[in-house]
């Protein structure tokens, strides 16, 4: 598992303001063992690809190639069950043939709030704003907002150098 902490250089308005759009992929780009794919059709993870310049600056901390940033918002009650990511769109756009070098990093934009969860395999990840956690291709993980407030994270996808 990848983890650490970066200095907080952002303000709440840098990640809460739109434009937010609903992720239109009914499977949110992941593989799962569940046979009933309709289970995932109601997941409303909101994505903002207009990422504030503050977040682009933190890429220097992570030595990755072909980085893609996205802000994610999970509203209360949303659950993304355990899964492994497919990275189909990422691989296609970046002409990646070998997925084994792909990594994903989640940066907490706020201190962990009650009910906000990120699990990487059997480890629950909690921390203050600036804490980050990540995994390599093929790692099972899940996220949930079982709390009362929106959950905001920065998602970084890239290839290990």
Q: For the chain, how many residues are written?
A: 161
Domains of the chain with CATH codes: 2-148+156-160 (2.60.120.10)
Q: Which pLDDT band, with edges at 50, 70 and 90, does 39 fall under?
A: very low
Q: What is the dihedral of CA 35, 40, 41, 43, to 10 degrees?
A: 180
Asked if residue 33 has pLDDT above 60, the reply is no
Q: Which pLDDT band, with edges at 50, 70 and 90, does 63 fall under?
A: confident
pTM of the model: 0.86
Angstrom distance (rounded) from CA 41 to CA 33: 15
Least Cα distance to 136 among 99, 93, 89, 161 occurs for: 99
Angstrom distance (rounded) from CA 16 to CA 33: 33
Q: Rounded to 5, what percent of the chain is helix, strand, coil?
A: 15, 40, 40
Comparing 54 with 50, which gets the higher pLDDT?
Answer: 54
For residue 49, the model assigns a pLDDT of: 65
pLDDT, averaged across the chain: 84
Alpha helices in 24-138, H assignment, sequence order: 53-57, 88-94
Angstrom distance (rounded) from CA 159 to CA 90: 10
Angstrom distance (rounded) from CA 160 to CA 42: 33
Asked if residue 27 has pLDDT above 60, the reply is no
For residue 32, the model assigns a pLDDT of: 43
- What is the average pLDDT across 142-150? 94
Distance of CA 155 to the CA centre of its chain: 4
Q: What Cα–Cα distance (Å) separates residue 148 from each residue in 10, 51, 75, 76?
A: 23, 25, 8, 5
Q: Which pLDDT band, with edges at 50, 70 and 90, does 155 fall under?
A: very high
Asked if residue 35 has pLDDT above 70, the reply is no
Comparing 16 with 147, which gets the higher pLDDT?
Answer: 147
Q: Residue 25: CB partners within 8 Å, gap ≥ 6?
A: none
Listed range (19-28, 57-66, 150-159) with the worst mean pLDDT: 19-28
For residue 11, the model assigns a pLDDT of: 93
């Amino acid at each position: 598992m990848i983890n650490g902490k970066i200095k907080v250089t952002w303000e709440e308005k840098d990640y809460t303001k739109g434009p937010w759009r609903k992720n239109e992929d009914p499977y949110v780009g992941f593989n799962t063992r569940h046979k009933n794919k309709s289970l995932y059709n109601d997941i409303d993870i909101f994505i903002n690809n207009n990422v504030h310049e503050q977040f682009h600056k933190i890429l220097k901390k992570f030595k990755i190639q072909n980085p893609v940033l996205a802000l994610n918002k999970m509203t209360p009650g949303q659950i993304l069950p355990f899964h492994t990511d497919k990275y189909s769109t990422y691989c296609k756009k970046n002409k990646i043939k070998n997925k084994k070098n792909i990594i994903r990093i989640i940066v907490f934009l706020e201190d962990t709030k009650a009910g906000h969860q990120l699990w990487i395999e059997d480890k629950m990840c909690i921390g203050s704003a600036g804490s980050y956690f990540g995994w390599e291709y093929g790692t099972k993980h899940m996220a949930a907002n079982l709390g009362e407030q929106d959950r905001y994270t920065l998602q970084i996808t890239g290839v290990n150098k």
